Structure 1
Amino acid sequence: MYGATGPKGEPLAAKVVKRVSGSSREQLVVSGLPESPHIVPVLHVEETPGSFVLYMPRATTSLRARMSEPLTLTEALKILGDIARALEILDDAIVHRDLKPENVLLVNGAWALCDFGIARFAEATTSLETHKGSLSAPYAAPEQWRYERATGATDVYAFGVLAHELIAGERPFSGTLDELRDAHLTRVPPGIEGPRKLAWTISECLAKAPQARPTAAALVVRLDSAESEATSKAARALQQAQSALISARATEEARVQAEASEEERRGLLLLAAESGYEALSQELVEFIADSAPDTEVTRKSGIDLTLNNARLTLAPLRPVRKADQPWDVIAQSSVRVAIGSPSRSHSLYFADFESHGRYAWFELGFMNTFNADFDSEPRELPPKEGLLALLPTMASYQLAWGVKRLDPGSPDEFVESWAERFGLAAVNKFPRLSRLPDGNPVRPSAIGRN
């Protein structure tokens, strides 16, 4: 990188990229980059017989240079928020492929991404074996090691590595090139200290299956609220327990092969489902236990909470076999509140309801189509019956509540709604409905899914 001056005397930076046989300007320069303070534009390109020279605004510093000194949590969250906003603006239409601290610059007071075309240029102008050596290995997603197509989820994985480095002070994996390949493909990253929801977010970014990673838009929302999160004594204890749980899964995940068959793909997604469900469950249990210390918590195959005569049950997570339906459910569970006979339960599905091949947790409740039961509905159903109820055809059951996407990194609405139902049941005020369906349930679209 060299210093340069623009036509109006403005300070610029000039980057020289060596020209190789078969290379072109179009491979190097990404057209259509949106204007944003979080994206460094290429202002001009000069071509010489042996190189391309890219001119861009001059940066104050790079993130790699800034990381040579300690960062406060506030500073780290500001940096991560700026990067997430850049990825959100790109919206999967443009993939960076080489997100790392060296490619994050401070320009006009905002952290911005640069070098969008460099990784694509390297892929197009080098052999497969040479490209393997040119990967930014510490930040490369599993699909890059398998030479699969990069997507926006690839950048989210690199974001997770970078976030881990900023918050924990080190990258999740280190070692030789072969050791890094094995780690990114098969090992579970270590848990980190810090705000609980931020730790969950970073863990989700590092999911082996691209479809299980959060979107850039979800990252922006989570990071905006991360600093204000309270870290209670109970939360710290649960975080330590979760770290132990993640470490215990490493042996199981290590058996998953790099060339993922359908069964292996579902295995990777199931691991992501387990982590998300654990987060949702623990947040709900902690909130209730902190608010009502007399609540009795029993953990067997699932989790039971009892207070007076009220009982809240979180069923154990169960894997689901692929069915011939428009939507794919990887795992299921349910949550139920009851006081004697009256009850209400919702299904929890880890599924691709919103976008084919992109998975998240969803909450939904069902009712009998022909004879609604106000004492026990909405009710949960296994996916075999529940998916039939979502089709635009007559079935024994229909949707009574939802479909609502759940965010394990920000589960406040889920936690508060079930804690309130449990609390009312505990004082004999079970919230019996006067009409069904409850609210305005909306079925996910089945168009173009099979």
Structure 2
Amino acid sequence: MEIKLEGGTWTVGDPLVNGNGGFGAVFEARSADISNAVAKFVPKDPGAERELLIGDSLNASQFHNVVPVIDRGEHLDSWVIVMPRADKSLAEHIAETGNELDLSEAVAILSDIATALSDIDETVVHRDLKPQNVLLLGGSWCLADFGIARYAAATTAYDTRKFSLTPMYAAPEQWRSEHATSATDIYAFGIIAYQLLSGGLPFKGPDTASFRQQHLEDNPPKLTAGTARLRILVEECLYKAPQARPGAKNILARLANSLHETTRPGMSRLAQVSHSQVQHEAKTYARELALREEEDSRARIFEAAMWSFKSFSEPLLQAITDNAPIARIDVGAGRGKMKFVAELAGVRLGISEPEKSSTWDGPFDVIAFANIAINLGAQSRRGWEGRSHSLWFCDAVEKGRFGWYEMAFMGSPLMNSGHSIEPFSCSPQEATIAFQSVIGTMQLAWPVEELDRADPSDFFDRWLGWFADAAEHRLDRPSTMPEKQTTRFWRRE
């Protein structure tokens, strides 16, 4: 197949073995003047043309160890980039050597990559540095495939393929969809360096979720290969905090001396003090990152809780209006705390809006809590004003599987609780004692039961029946407490 690009006509041959160049397919190519090249075809998806623009910007003479773009253009539904044909990729070289590289060869490879990163610093962020994108060309290891790269000064936009990453090599900030900088490439460089020195990856997944958790929270196993200088350098490249990682020029300078151990005590001590300080800053950042990750995760689950809550609270309100059209309905009552309050014959049934739950000392995780209650109002008698139950969005039975659970509490039978509402609801923080293996001031009066959102008719019928009984002056304080068997079945943390 012949294609005409901006610089001339090219004959495109067979696809290369392992010829998947990131977002495009790679084929043999030749022209009248050049017999050994490759043509990469990139589908015209949003952001794809940036690889052509970035390739042009890196063709200047000041950029070393970057695979140049010989020609460019478009053909049918693809952008096309023509580049010199490399001898092999670093991924192929690692496979050929069986992950057993000589230390001096590993340092030479890393120095070539660091040279490229140093030259493109302040110009382009690669964002997908990995052995497949490091090619042996003209005796040097060069960077290629800037398919998801962006200009260093640019604000990341959706069409720059920001959300594309390679799980084994992606930096923590990429997993959090944060702004990528040159420090992002340094992290991937650290992964490659670790791989070349140890023969394996620091984080092994195996799935995307595992890689995400490991890159965000776990420390890599300690390196044992190489000199102390080299091990410390790689460790610093893999710090979770982007600002704690060394720059490409600093890496290049340190690699030049990395094969020699430090022997002078003063210099060694100063280097160790500096390294310890960077370690401290990195650990602080890692703790902050883990906290932010936990907060973000809880916020996402809370959104799900709010959506799930509507699936039974709104049908409950509809059931009241359908069956008791004379009931007075107040939506959003109580200064925004209540989702709705229905009043019939002076008796009120209300359900509150869910609130976020902070961490507590209980055996499972609670993301949100609300309550549902019947208040007798003027019909209260002998100090009893009604009943309320807690609704918790939690993973009471299976870790990580969240749902809405109903439960209620009572005071200890060993003391006079004096509760006018009984059984009663409370927040997770207030109810901690009820879930401990001790005799406390509070215990369960109603078991922890998951609401069946697919068929909440039992829940509806019970509360609407109590509402009707209360309106007819027939709802009484429970004669025995707890009302139902509350044998513990919730999971231990």
TM-score with structure 2 length normalisation? 0.45
> Comparing both structures, which one devotes a greater share of its residues to helix?
1
TM-score with structure 1 length normalisation? 0.50
